[in-house]
Amino acid sequence: MRDLTTLPDLNVALIQTTLAWHDRKANLEHFEQLLEQARGTDLIILPEMFTTGFSMESQTLAEAENGPTSKWLRAQAAKLDAVITGSVIVQAADGSHRNRLLWAQPDGEVLHYDKRHLFRMAGEHKHYTAGEHQVQFELKGWRVRPLICYDLRFPVWSRDAQDTDLLLYTANWPGARRLHWNRLLPARAIENLCYVAAVNRIGTDGKGFAYTGDSQVLDFQGETLLGAGEADGVFQVVLSAAELAAYRMRFPANLDADTFELT
């Protein structure tokens, strides 16, 4: 078993804000200003499709895998000495369009996760190709597993079989289903015995859908450590590996978890 007590605390920043519809330049300029407020943190999380808003116009908006947003993220991560992550519309090497979370590290490496569950009610499955693999990233010894928006509804895909310390959700989750967001996130934290950090946007998109934020960080018991409500800004919290380790020792429900295979 890993000794979490040897890990440093993790300083996490959530950026909850409005998004300019289909305007990458405006969004990157806006986030560049906000990122300065997150200086000194280890991990900075941006919303889903943070350069465009949640759009189905993948043909016209998709960037190459090493496109301008990937390069911008690398530069910002190096400047702030922090991992920066959020999802963008990408055309993969095989020509498919992906809702892809980019994980930009200060050393210049960019890793990724492709959204598995595409939001059928908006037709996302008609414009994007679903991801096939869970992924896990490491940051200062912490195991971080990223997921995107609609993935939250699927507990099997969210279920931890890899000793994850932090589940990360980036989203464009509309206010009409705010109740679901606020109930499912604590469930994921409790069932996986881990922290959860979730970033949503605010404002109204180009289709007229309103977003009410509720970006938040929860501990392993589903208790709120940070709640942004509907505010615009940068929100920070420090996660304790020692507290996570102590809880898992007191309540090792993971030892009785069912085994299963994803296909």
Residues annotated as catalytic are: 48, 115, 149
User: Tokens for 245?
Assistant: 């380790």
- d(CA 260, CA 44) in angstroms, rounded, equals 32
- Please identify which residue in the block is written with the tokens 């896990």: 136
Q: Are 197 and 45 spatial neighbours (Cβ–Cβ below 8 Å)?
A: yes
Query: Which of the 8 DSSP states describes residue 62?
Result: P
Q: Are 150 and 118 spatial neighbours (Cβ–Cβ below 8 Å)?
A: yes
- d(CA 89, CA 55) in angstroms, rounded, equals 9
- d(CA 153, CA 139) in angstroms, rounded, equals 26
- From residue 21, give the alpha-carbon distance in Å to each of 18, 72, 85, 130, 189: 9, 19, 20, 23, 32
Q: Are 10 and 49 spatial neighbours (Cβ–Cβ below 8 Å)?
A: no
Instruction: Provide the residue type at 103 as one letter.
Output: W
